[in-house]
Chain A
Amino acid sequence: SQQGEEDPQALSIQEGENATMNCSYKTSINNLQWYRQNSGRGLVHLILIRSNEREKHSGRLRVTLDTSKKSSSLLITASRAADTASYFCATDDGPVIQGAQKLVFGQGTRLTINP
């Protein structure tokens, strides 16, 4: 199975600045998702972008997808202290089974927003 690689592994910025995280994957995908994890707790789904989409927005989040380069980026604009978390990309892995899709997660980026 493929696994996304993310960079940077860690990112520390000042509140109000923009944060950009990147994800690369190895094989063809149907979609790519981004999740957030606060302090080792459960993951929260942020946004999904399909393989036929190039850019998607949700509030302060902007996701791009370049299938030719097998890469995606997550941009968080006007960062806040509450954005401090780990961010993971995830890609579909294998066929849908009984309506459910397995996911493969990237290594994650630990984002710290300094007040």
Chain B
Amino acid sequence: SAVISQKPSRDICQRGTSLTIQCQVDSQVTMMFWYRQQPGQSLTLIATANQGSEATYESGFVIDKFPISRPNLTFSTLTVSNMSPEDSSIYLCSVDRGLHTDTQYFGPGTRLTVL
């Protein structure tokens, strides 16, 4: 398994501001994933983040709105930029240990409320 922490665990932000969410893993992993979970909904993949290269974004998500950094093999950040109330969600990071088990291990999530 993998132990993953996220900071902050929750935040309340004002419209138009930005929030950076941190994800720390206890072991080196190649690929990290960022998801959004809107209230009462399922998880939607925002992007995959590979160390040393730009993140790959899913349809409907753009780098200007959700810039991602991946400076090393145990850490990543997701920024939610120019926030609006529609960005109120839980943001989760996850990792695949790359052991070809296809299992992902999730952080505890960051609950974001935008006023």
The residues of A with any CB-CB pair to B shorter than 8 Å are 3, 30-31, 33, 35, 40-45, 48, 88, 90, 92, 96-108
Contacts and interface: CB of A to CB of B under 8 A. Distances in A.
B105 interface: yes
B68 interface: no
Interface string B82-115: 0000000010101010111111111111010000
Given A42-B4, A88-B43, A98 B98 contact: yes
Nearest to B30: A98
Contacts of A40: 37, 90, 109, 111
A64 B105 CA distance: 22
Given A31-B102, A45-B104, 18 more contacts: A30-B102, A33-B102, A40-B109, A41-B108, A42-B4, A42-B108, A43-B92, A48-B101, A92-B102, A96-B100, A97-B48, A98-B31, A100-B30, A101-B96, A103-B45, A103-B104, A104-B45, A107-B41
B31 to A, nearest CB: 3
Interface string B25-38: 00000110100010
A44 B50 CA distance: 23
A90 B106 CA distance: 14
Contacts of A103: 45, 102, 104
A3 B59 CA distance: 14
A69 to B, nearest CB: 21
B35 to A, nearest CB: 8
A33 B94 CA distance: 15
A92 B100 CA distance: 12
Contacts of A43: 43, 92, 94, 104, 106
